[in-house]
Amino acid sequence: MKKTYILFMFAMLTMSVCTTRAQGLKLGVTGGLNINQMKFDRDIVKEENCKGWYAGLTLDFTIPIINLSMDISAVYDKQSVNVEGWDEDIEYVDVPVNVKYFLGIPSKLAVFAATGPQFSFNIGDDKIYEHEYKLKSSYLSWNVGGGVRLLGHLQAAYRYNIGIGETAERHTAEGIWKSVKNKNGTHHVAVTYFF
């Protein structure tokens, strides 16, 4: 099942690349960090504050007259979680779909606000913390954020990702699997270069 998700994402991006030039869309590469706490000092990049990293491709379509844009990305996301003092790495393919509104001229210099859903598919181990937690194969979250675009090619962005619904099940001492809901948010900082 996990390989099916990866193949689907690869096929989607391949088709997107082929149609990019024909429809005037922009394809870009993106990468960034997952941050536990946003601090505007050098502590932001300390190992204990970085929850993980992500990298992938972004397809962007901008309507210049009304300064509205939509982008869809497919990124590999490696996160570190701490469960009761036990550190675990988890891996996802994330597909964020964001609508952005620009103030300024996106081909020159503009700031933007963005929001939209994110679909995450687990491609790593589905059991963590000595098999006490079983991760769901996919889950939904919501992004809110903003950023700046320079010369139509370089974009720096921040987004806050809010977990929605169940992300795992916990195996209790009585042998029962109970749902675990993720209400925690994660800060993301990213840089994207559009070709």
Residue 48 has pLDDT above 60, yes or no: no
pLDDT at 127: 77
- What average pLDDT score do residues 157-177 get? 79
Taking 90 as the threshold, does the pLDDT of residue 154 lie above it? yes
Q: What is the pLDDT of residue 107?
A: 84
The tens digit of pLDDT for each residue in 21-37 reads: 445 589 999 999 988 65
> Mean of the per-residue pLDDT values for the chain?
79
Higher-pLDDT residue of 18 and 104 is 104
pLDDT higher than threshold 90 for residue 143: yes
- Of residues 70 and 170, the one with the higher pLDDT is 70
Q: What pLDDT, on the 0 to 100 scale, is given for residue 63?
A: 81
Neighbours of 44 (CB within 10 A): 16
Residue 98 near residue 115, CB atoms below 8 Å: yes
> Residue 64 has what pLDDT?
72
* 174-191 mean pLDDT: 75
